[in-house]
Chains A and B, each alone.
Chain A
């Protein structure tokens, strides 16, 4: 009896431990249409090494093995493929499933995609769609469908709620007008956002798992918050698609990605850490590395309410961006302004590092060097508080800035916060605040300038206030001409630089590693939301 009870209890403990073991409540989705494509791909495949098949569970399950299947890693995974919701459109764009009306090119300029052209007359933009543009099920993309997509986006995504304020009209099947009511010069850029990808709203039955889109690939297998497998869209409106398919393995850690690349289980991936980068760079015969400056900016805000002009200027003359970028070993390019220097609106100048001049400025301001090697005035030490959060290398930057400032006689202390937006950005309780954000989300400078320099902007928490800059921002909000917009943007940023309100430290590099023969993985585009497309190739 006792033995039975003992056995029962032990078993119950194990069962308890296994509680809830079972199938996923959101199983992997394999679409019927994609299954057909996958089957065709499999039939076309001529070879599939057993070891390779073992290594690719997602590809295996969907039949996306052999042939030209690109295998890559994704650092993030999401539970839904609804193009319009949250940031999921970024990923459907990376997977080659969805497309927007326009795309952003390597030079930050807008190029046609689903739309052939867009012309603005006052507040009305007339958009002509590509004649051939169609969904993967063969249904043509119509003006009415575009309008309904934009209206749905406004409803389900708070960041695009403004689209709900506009008037839309379908002129004919392939032409539509958007009346923004007030001048809105960045509409075309907004329409290039991946969230503006088009879905066949009538044919889609499950927006989360199986949206019908226009991209060169269709979903083959989707594991929510896991691996994603896509296969070629046989009905792609834009012509031939080179790859048979692609697999996106969800891999967060850098070491497994490196080892998977070394073992041949991956063909390419981006967002490479500095340690792996050095390994790839040391073996150019096996790996091709493409590095371009991206749009994710590391910067700091100088608190004008606490630091006078000369102290702020001295700080900016001391902080050595080149040294900080060098420390980050190729993952970051030193920034001049917040935008890429290759963009027309990235043409600003900053003074070179000059520690002697910085010290002279402090002495002019009444500071004297104390016996401990730090500046002081009226018995009070020049003591600065650098606030940062431990992400995007800001912790390393904070330490390097502390060292550089300390070496020049400015005593600093570091304050780390878990959530900058709820703490030092909200309260303004800092001398120097480090932050990282995307400075250019769709090939236009207004978003960043509006977020950091405009009156009442959330990230203008250091007290920057300049009438001339504000007037230029107001003009930027309505100016449609790109050349004039660039001029205005350069003026705004230069004012902020001259006022020593900010320090733009570095732009994260978009670094991609590819096996020889792999190309077209958006390695030359400085945005995070592009990946495979019709021209992506694996030889």
Chain B
């Protein structure tokens, strides 16, 4: 296992190098001049001479490979450069945003799991009952309705009609509530459907019939055997969802004024603030790969029959 982990960690290095090179290349090829975007940000026209001078000041006149290696050597030292937009260090900006987005993503994930696991268990055990049918419809609806619509509806109900929360809440605890629910609703819908299917497939296994035939209590069968076997699959789904939550919360962050990384990156893409986008790609790449590795390890620990291969 130790050897496997070390191997996996080493294999991250070429992957991250390839990721960083191609993202740098794609950003370089993308239409749009960061210098022009910066100078004309308010719709004021600027002369070509002024734009050219700014390009030189920003180092954009240097060849592609020179810029890439300068960035790479900086990144190896933990320095992701400075933002084109405001000149502040990229690392600091990303870490601020990442922290806020993590709060949102993890809270949503926990809430989704707290709701979806018991609901999916009941749905699976009482398959085709009224409870199961109602939650299948609700989970389908929750998974289908776009995030922004859920957000605006929640805001209307809780802030305007019921006046429980303020519209302008920001990064406070009360400000966390509505965005977490907005993110958790579609995630819960997806989890209920996926977990339910997995539990049903476990319930239909021969070993479950065998255990039941031996007279083992149904709750023991369910929690000790069925759920334990389904746990690996459920953790994989939850692990992969973290990445989706991290990258997909941009609309929620904008509507609820949550200063997370999604909003930061969207603003940076619009402003052609490539150092921030490049830093985001690298950090998200590392997170995806490491979360994938940890998820695999949990899976292997839960089910030792799973072979570890490089």
Using CB atoms and an 8 Å cutoff, list the residues of chain A in contact with chain B.
2, 5-6, 9-10, 12-14, 16-26, 51, 54-58, 78-80, 86-87, 90, 158-159, 161, 224-227, 249-253, 255-256, 259-260, 262-263, 265-266, 296, 392, 417-419, 421-423, 436-438, 441, 447-448, 451-452, 458-459, 528
Contacts and interface: CB of A to CB of B under 8 A. Distances in A.
Contacts of B294: 9, 12-13, 16
B172 A57 contact: yes
A423 B33 CA distance: 10
Contacts of A251: 168, 257
Contact of B86 (A51, A86, A266): A86
Contacts of A263: 159-160, 163, 166-167
A25 B235 CA distance: 33
Given A17-B291, A58-B170, 18 more contacts: A16-B291, A17-B102, A17-B287, A21-B103, A24-B99, A26-B92, A57-B169, A158-B46, A158-B54, A161-B53, A225-B259, A249-B170, A253-B255, A265-B167, A265-B168, A417-B31, A452-B45, A458-B48
18 contacts: A9-B297, A10-B298, A13-B295, A17-B105, A17-B287, A18-B99, A18-B103, A25-B89, A26-B88, A51-B163, A55-B167, A57-B169, A78-B86, A159-B46, A259-B155, A259-B156, A437-B44, A438-B45
A447 B170 CA distance: 40
A55 B295 contact: no
Contacts, number: 179
Given A21-B103, A54-B166, A250-B257, A80 B155 contact: no
B32 A418 contact: yes
A255 B149 CA distance: 11
Contacts of A5: 301
Contacts of A25: 89, 92-93, 95-96
B136 interface: no
A14 B257 CA distance: 24
Contacts of B155: 255-256, 259
B13 interface: no
Query: Interface extent on B, as a size class?
Result: 35 or more
A87 B41 contact: yes
Contact of A226 (B30, B43, B259): B259
B97 to A, nearest CB: 9
Interface string B26-38: 0000111100111
Contacts of A253: 254-255
B309 interface: no
A437 B43 contact: yes
B298 A9 contact: yes
B138 to A, nearest CB: 25
Contact of B106 (A14, A158, A265): A14
B171 interface: yes
A252 B263 CA distance: 10
B15 to A, nearest CB: 17
Nearest to A417: B31
Interface in B1-46: 30-33, 36-46
Contacts of B41: 86-87
A224 B53 CA distance: 27
Contact of A9 (B36, B95, B301): B301
Given A9-B297, A260-B167, A158 B57 contact: yes
A87 B99 CA distance: 28
B58 to A, nearest CB: 10
B239 interface: yes
B170 A26 contact: no
Contacts of B99: 18, 20-24
Nearest to B261: A20
Contacts of A16: 287, 290-291, 294
A146 B36 CA distance: 29
Contact of B31 (A2, A392, A422, A437): A422
B44 A438 contact: yes
B222 interface: no
B98 interface: yes
Nearest to A12: B294
Contacts of A451: 45
B174 interface: yes
A17 B31 CA distance: 33
A459 B53 CA distance: 19
Contact of A90 (B40, B42, B86, B235): B42
B239 A255 contact: no
B298 A438 contact: no
A11 to B, nearest CB: 10
B43 A55 contact: no
B160 A22 contact: no
> Top 9 closest A-B pairs, CB basis?
A55-B166, A25-B92, A419-B32, A260-B167, A451-B45, A21-B99, A79-B86, A20-B98, A20-B95
A448 B40 CA distance: 14
B31 A19 contact: no
A161 B32 CA distance: 24
B302 interface: yes
Contacts of A452: 45
Contacts of A392: 43
Contact of A421 (B33, B152, B159): B33
B47 interface: yes
Interface string B160-189: 100100111111101100000000000000
A303 to B, nearest CB: 19
A437 B45 CA distance: 7
Given A6-B301, A263-B159, A265-B167, A447 B45 contact: yes
Contacts of B255: 253, 255-256
Given A161-B53, A458-B48, A22 B95 contact: yes
B70 interface: no
Contacts of B88: 26, 79, 224
A227 B302 CA distance: 47
Contacts of A256: 155, 167-168, 255-257
A79 B38 CA distance: 14
Q: Which of A55, A224, A265, A423 has the most CB of B within 10 A?
A: A55
A58 B171 CA distance: 10
B308 to A, nearest CB: 14
Interface in B34-89: 36-48, 50, 53-54, 57, 85-86, 88-89
B38 A161 contact: no
B242 interface: yes
Nearest to A297: B43
B160 A262 contact: yes
Contacts of A423: 31
A257 B48 CA distance: 38
Given A19-B287, A259-B156, A421 B40 contact: yes
A507 B42 CA distance: 15
Nearest to A52: B166
Q: Which of B94, B102, B239, B242 has the most CB of A within 10 A?
A: B102
Interface in B119-139: none
A159 B301 contact: no
